[in-house]
Structures are given as C-alpha cells and as structure tokens.
Amino acid sequence: MNRSGALPGGYMGRILVVDLDTGVIDEEVLPGAVYDEGLYGPGLASRMLLERIPPGADPMGADNILAFTPGLLTGTGCLFAGRWTVAGKSPLTGGWGDANCGGNFSPAIKQCGYDGIFFRGASDHPVYLDVRDGKAELRDAGRFWGMDTVETETLLAGGGKGKKSVVAAIGPAGEKRSLIAGIANDGGRMAARSGLGAVMGSKNLKALVLSGNRRVPVFDREAVKRLSKSCSRWVSLKIPLPAGPVMSRVGTLFRVMPLQAAQDGLFYNSLLRKWGTVSMNRASVEMGDAPVKNWAGSNEDYPFDRSRSIDPDVFRKTEVVRYHCYSCPLGCGAVSSLRGKFTRSHRPEYETVTAFGPLCLNTDGDSIFYINELLNRAGMDTISAGATVAFAMECMEQGILTKSDLDGIDLAWGNADAVIALLYRMIRREGIGDVLADGVKKAAERIGGGAGALAMHAGGQELPMHDGRNDPGFALHYAAEPAPGRHTTGAWLYYEMFQLWRKVPGLPRPPLLYPKKSRYEEAPEKAAMAAACSKYMNVANSAGLCLFGLFLGAHRIPVFEWLNAVTGRERTATETMEIGKRIQTAKQRFNLRHGVAPRSVTVPPRALGQPPQKRGANRNRTVDLEALKKEYWRAFGWDPETGAP
C-alpha cells in the first residue's frame, strides 16, 4: 500500500463502531480505498457519513452517526498535530457538521488503536464508552448525568487503575439537547460548533473514556524528526513585542492606514506565545474585525478608552500556568486564576471575549472569565451563546422582547449580571432560557415579530467573531463552506499567512501592500485563494494540525513533507491539495443529499454592509457575497449557480 507494500504510516488500520441501540461494539478494518485516497480525520468521516447516514435522517435521531476522529499526523512526532474532530449531521444546520479541538484526546484515540470511533443508534439510558487495555465496553453513566464537563472528566479520568484515562464529555447543555452544545475535554476545551454536543445528548452518551498505549506507525521517523526540528526553530523565534495597550493600538493603525499590508504569521506566532488568542481582542475592535453590538455597532460603540478590560495584559496578569496541546511547541493556552465560585479556568479565547465583550457591549472583564468557565463546564458553545445573548439584547432594545418575556431580567446592553442570569436559564432550559437554548435561528422562529432580522447566523449556525466587512473572505467562507458560519476555514488574511503559493504551483501571490478597496473587488484570484484555503484546511484538519501552526506559512511548517514522511507516499503538494478537494466535495454532497441547498445559505445583510454602515471602521463597505460564492464554486469545478459538485 506504500513503497514497501505495507499499511501506510499514520494509520492504525481499523475503526471502532458502537451501536447504541443494541450495545454491540465492532471493530472494522478500513477499506483499501481510504488509504489510496489518503483520507483521515474529518476526511474519513465525510466519506463514511455520506455513505451511512440515510437522507432525511433526524440529526437528533438514532440514524445520525457521531464520528470521533484523530489526526493522521497525531502521535508521529509532527508538531501542532494534536487536534481531533467530531463529525455528524448538524442539528443546527441540517447538513454537514463538524467541530475540532485540541488537548490530549486525539492521541488517546490512536493509542487505543483506532482511526476513529463511530456511534450510531441511541441508548435508552445514559452510558459512557470505556476503552481500556484493548477492550471497549459501554458502562452506565447514570451517576454522571447532570454533572458538568470538568466534574465528569475528573471522576472518569481517574476511574481506572494505573494510567489516567483521557475523557471527552458533554455537560448539562448537551444532556438537555441544547442545539448549541459542544463536547469538552482537557478541563473545558471544547469541540464547540455544529451542535454536536446535542447529538451526543440525544444518544444518551455522556462520555468517551480512553486509555491505551499503541504506537503509531511512521514510515520515516528520521525525516519527521528533521522536519519537526526545522519547524520548531521558527516557532521559537522571538519578535520583541510592546506592552498590551501599545500592541492594541496596532488595530487603530490598521484602521487609518490607506493601504493594506499582507500579513506574515510569524508575528502572530509571537503574539500567541505571549498572550494567546486574546492578543488581538482590543486591536480587532479597533480595526473593524470584531463585531460590535450584535453586528449593528462599530468600534465607536466600544471605544479604546472603554475596552481596557479586554486588553491582552489584563488576561496575562491572571495567568497561573501555560497550556500546550499535545505535541504543540507554541502553547497559546493558559490556565487563569479566578475570583469567586470558580477558582481556575482556561483563559478565555478571542472568540469568547468578543462574543461576551464588544458583541454585547460588555466592559466587565471579570464577568467574561466567569462566563467562559460557566459555559465550558455546561458544555455550551461560547460563540453561539454570546451571539444568542446579543440577539436577545437587541430584541429587548427594539421591544420585540419585554422584560417580562425575559423572566424579569433587565437585558440592557452591557449588563453583565443580566447576561449571566440569562445564561443560567439557557443552560437549564428554564423560562426564556428554553426559547434561546437552541441558538438564534430557532429563537427567532419562536419569538417572531421581526426577530429574524436580528438573528446573525449562516445556515443556522451563529456567526463567529470576525467581520466580513473588514475581510470579505470571512463572509464568503461563512456562507459557502459545507459547515457554514465557521471562522477556521479561510479568509483573505489566512491566505496571506498560509503562503501556499510557495508550495503549490499556480496559486496567486498577494502584493506586500495593496489598496484596501481591492479587498472588496471581484477578481478571479480571490476565488482561487478561497478554494485553496478550504482545500488546505481539509488536509490540515485531517492531519490533526492546529490552524495557528499553519499561520507560520507553508515554507516554515512542512505540512506536505510531514504527510509524505509519515505515510510513505510521495505526493506532490498539488496532489495533496486534491485530497482536500475530495473531502470538500464529499461534505458538499452530504448537504445536497440531506436537502441543504448551498445557494440557500447566506450571511445576514447587516454583516455584509447591506446597507453600508455610516460610521466606524467598516463604514461604506459592502460585500458582494453572491458573486464571491459563484466564483468560489467555479474554482472547485462545481456548478457556479447551485454549488453542486
């Protein structure tokens, strides 16, 4: 199957299939085509779920399949290769759903000897899957039902003899089938998007508990070592950085500069090492990247002198210890100390801080730490939850919801206590919380009265915290990806940082400086850039690689070379990108098979500058999303009108 005729490196050769209807657990040997096509992780899941989930299946029913997959490069000595992906039919969008996460869960799947763990059916009582010493069994989870993700993990991880197990679990939000529920591991890191925590809840599956010691086969370990060494030199390169407030002013500079500079991710690498993703929160508001006031406001509504609480130095002061995912040399995470009910928490990420800061006009930094831990423990997606709270705030401002509709909560902009009170109701599905617990699309349908115009989602999934009016690539990917409303698949910024033109012949090289207005102009190279981002991210996610590592640039992080060294294949970068295209095509086919017409997925006019804003960083900016979508599909060789492969 490779140069020596053996199983390609990186693969474990079998998957675990758990039927929750019958309790039967089987091992399946992967079909040869999987190796031939180079599929893994979400790529493997896309092929299997396309074949095995019947059209029209209820996402919350027994026919839905939930796939937990590690990365092809996980456990091989490659860096940044510790991410795992969960995939299934999304109850939020009705189409392809996936979410990925770091921590230590990806290697744990491979150490148990599997290329993936697939669940079908639904148990009639709460269970968890325990895999230990090569034996897999379903166990009763009755006593864990109702516990939060951290409590569950703590109890289940220490449950066996000897080596601690690695756990992924849902919290109360997933149990109550909130459609914005995620799946957590490593003390509250979350595979948050697509509502797959609700699917896990619908299957009465509380957790996966994994313990194993299998080694991952690697074709050429020496080559992997050599490549990893040269990559780590770039990661450890230190660029001197100013204090947080000065750094945040870079956002102001970006706003006022008439020209746009192509970004090099080496700088971002340094920011992440010093501050984590919160390095950009304050700067993003300034430059127009962070949405403000449910996407209706601008940086002028969350001015620099009122945004001190989200300055990166504020987060740094609470840092207790740095956090690295498995095989990550960078370590953008940290554990923070908190005051009050929770004493420790993963430091909030950029998305969480924006969702509960500028999006809700909240300037109370302590509340954001608290909310972050509350939602991580509840197992609820912080992006979707923040978007839903901001939506409810605007509903109240516009008189669509009254204080009495909101169970007496005074949900005025910026009222942090009211936000927390509302979140508790959403987690418990009490009163107004039950109306809002399934995200903005469902909430708007339930509320009526014009609420739909305030619901900021793409295809049912709440928009993430990057404004397409600042970078239209985000808007395009929000609408055109098979899993819509995602910020991790592409943008003009990502294309610049990926520097794929250095490895993949024929891709356009952006100029170092260019007029800002050209970002909004249609041009064939835009579609080529976006399609390249999607293909590359499919490859990277299947490999288990972290997006932040990719920001180093393809000439510094040897993605294509690692894949060849691990598997023993000799694919060119172009051939590897074709694998990415195959994965994208399978996901797009999945949507069509399940009745999701790609054309129907769009971004609300407000987030496209239709009509354009009159003030702030994004004033007079409009995105022609329909034109971008057509060209993007054409770049894939699909029907530009329908998006059908």
Binding stretches for ligand SF4 (CB under 6 A): 80, 82, 102, 324-325, 328, 330-333, 546, 548
Nearer to ligand SF4, 325 or 608 (CB): 325
For the beta carbon of residue 170, count every other beta carbon within 10 angstroms. Answer: 32
Written as one letter, the residue type at 108 is A
The whole-angstrom separation of Cα 502 and Cα 381 is 36
Measured between alpha carbons, how far is 133 from 130 in angstroms, rounded to an integer? 10
**Closest approach of Cβ 504 to ligand SF4, in Å?**
23
Contacts of 65 (CB under 8 A, 6+ apart): 48, 49, 52, 53, 88, 89, 118, 119, 120
Using CB atoms within 10 Å of the CB of residue 535, give its burial: 0 to 12 exposed, 13 to 18 middle, 19+ buried: buried
The least distance separating ligand SF4 from the CB of residue 186, rounded to whole angstroms, comes to 10
Min dist. Cβ of residue 430 to ligand SF4 (A): 34
Q: Before 59, cis peptide (omega within 30)?
A: no
What is the smallest separation between the CB atom of 549 and ligand SF4, expressed in angstroms?
Answer: 6
Nearer to ligand SF4, 156 or 325 (CB): 325
Query: What span, in angstroms and rounded, lies between the C-alpha atoms of 46 and 459?
Result: 19
- Least Å distance, CB 447 to ligand SF4, is 36
Nearest to 474 by CA among 295, 253, 283, 301: 295
Radius of gyration of the chain from its Cα atoms, rounded to whole angstroms: 23
* Least distance between ligand SF4 and beta carbon 585 (Å): 27
* Smallest distance, ligand SF4 to C-beta of residue 165, A: 20
CB of 246 to ligand SF4, least distance (A): 24
Q: What amino acid is encoded at 407 in this protein? A: D
72: enclosing H helix or E strand: none
Q: Which is nearer to ligand SF4, 196 or 557 (CB)?
A: 557
Strands 183-185 and 259-261: unpaired
Q: Which of 182, 153, 581, 526 has the alpha carbon at shortest distance from 351?
A: 182
Q: Which is nearer to ligand SF4, 95 or 333 (CB)?
A: 333
The least CB distance from residue 109 to ligand SF4, in Å, is 16
In a 3-state reduction of DSSP, which class is residue 443?
helix
- Whether residue 558 contacts residue 224, with contact meaning beta carbons closer than 8 Å, is answered with no
State both tokens at 274: 């010093």
Closest contact distance (angstroms) between CB of 80 and ligand SF4 is 5
Nearer to ligand SF4, 268 or 391 (CB): 268
Closest separation between CB of residue 272 and ligand SF4, Å? 6
Which CB sits closer to ligand SF4, 435 or 539? 539
Which residues sit opposite 455 in a β-bridge?
none
Tokens of 601: 């997925």
In angstroms, the first-to-last Cα distance of the chain is 29
Interacting residues of 185 by C-beta distance below 8 A, sequence separation 6+: 101, 103, 104, 105, 153, 166, 167, 168, 169, 191
Q: How far is the CB of 85 from ligand SF4 (least distance, A)?
A: 14
Given the complex with ligand SF4, which of 65 and 546 has the nearer CB atom?
A: 546
Q: Which one, 348 or 643, has the nearer CB to ligand SF4?
A: 348
| Integer Cα distance of 645 and 135 in angstroms | 41
If the CB atoms of residues 225 and 324 are measured against ligand SF4, the closer one turns out to be 324
Nearer to ligand SF4, 122 or 550 (CB): 550
Quick one: residue 282, left, alpha or beta (phi over 0 = left, psi -120 to 50 = alpha)? alpha
In the complex with ligand SF4, the residue whose CB is nearer, 102 or 598, is: 102
CB 552, min distance to ligand SF4, A: 10
Task: Determine the 3-state secondary structure of 510 from DSSP.
Answer: coil
> Quick one: which H or E segment has residue 457?
strand 457-458
∠ CA 168-224-267 to the nearest 5 degrees? 75
- 1: which strand partners? none
CB-wise, 96 or 326, nearer to ligand SF4? 326
Cβ proximity of 3 and 568 under 8 Å: yes
Question: Which tokens go with 521?
Answer: 């102009």
Give the closest residue to 472 by CA, choosing from 518, 508, 412, 424. Answer: 518
**Quick one: 333 or 484, whose CB is closer to ligand SF4?**
333
